[in-house]
Structure 1
């Protein structure tokens, strides 16, 4: 069987090709392009949402860190005198350093920030501590431990007396700070 190609077959082939091309053009323009555009928009929205989620997680971590820092500040500089906290810490240091506290008294002196070395609105309460120890090293260790306690304190006056070769007495004035105007929520 011999097949003869003529003009009709050529026209039919061109028509079929044109129809296929028209269907492809119509399919991509009116069906595939809107779906592709919608897919790209959805991907961009998802990326934005992922960025928002990551930022909120980072903010949560920062918020936790800020809260921990605020609690640490509150422990070191409370908003009230917290006399019981200071006395408790002093007795704890006494037990750790082999000294004997004979007296703790509130000092009546007023705190003035004339030198400008302290922040404004910071108030203080002073304690006079009279103690004795077997060695001068124990008194020095007591002083070092007092300055390292959690509460913000400073030793403002120190008087050490060596009674005999085995007995040392000391009078220490410790200033503990607080700020009633700072409120951390």
Structure 2
């Protein structure tokens, strides 16, 4: 089969060549170039990280120091809410002091703490308690304030109900770190 090169076949051939050049340019501009740029950026990033690693070699002792500081901090400022654990602690301390917890209500949830970096949040609770002695109520509050986790008691009041019972209310805040709030 032979092609006759007349004007019409020459125009078709030129149109096909122009379309192929256009497709090459479009593919290069929108598909190949962004991938090349990202690869160059990533290779620069890897080179920078390797330079930092060669300059500052990892120190196992420093890692262990950071790990121990983290485990120390985690006890009084947990990474997540850990409300269940705090309520179990409250229940145990109240039982030790012979205080009955009537209700615990959550007043606020996931409230940012002012004056500290983002990520530190607090929940506010109110507890209604009863006991046979005022001293037991005061002892419960003292035990909560000396607890390992930070319990910020903002209010405490109690009154005598009849001859042998006291009822009280206290409001407290539990702090924790939530990296999702950043």
Give the TM-score normalised by structure 1.
0.58
* 152, 156, 159: which one aligns with 2:157: 159
Unaligned runs of 5+ in 2: 1-58
State the Cα deviation string for residues 36-85 of structure 1 (Å, max 9, x = none).
xxxxxxxxxxxxxxxxxxxxxxx656644442221121121112111111
Distance across 1 between alignment mates of 2:164 and 2:65: 49
Unaligned runs of 5+ in 1: 1-58
| Counterpart check, 1:98 vs 2:59 | no
Task: Return closer, same or farther for 1:63/1:110 CA change in 2, 3 Å cut-off.
Answer: closer
Determine the structure 2 residue equivalent to 1:170. 168
Determine the structure 1 residue equivalent to 2:70. 70
State the Cα deviation string for residues 76-128 of structure 1 (Å, max 9, x = none).
111211111111111111121110111112113774645x3xx2322101121
| Counterpart check, 1:141 vs 2:139 | yes
Tell me the secondary structure at the aligned position of residue 108 of structure 2: coil
User: Between Structure 1 and Structure 2, whose CA radius of gyration is higher?
Assistant: 1
Distance across 2 between alignment mates of 1:81 and 1:181: 11
Distance across 2 between alignment mates of 1:165 and 1:112: 43
Which protein has the bigger strand share? 2
Runs of 4+ in structure 1 over 6 Å off: none
Distance across 2 between alignment mates of 1:63 and 1:100: 45
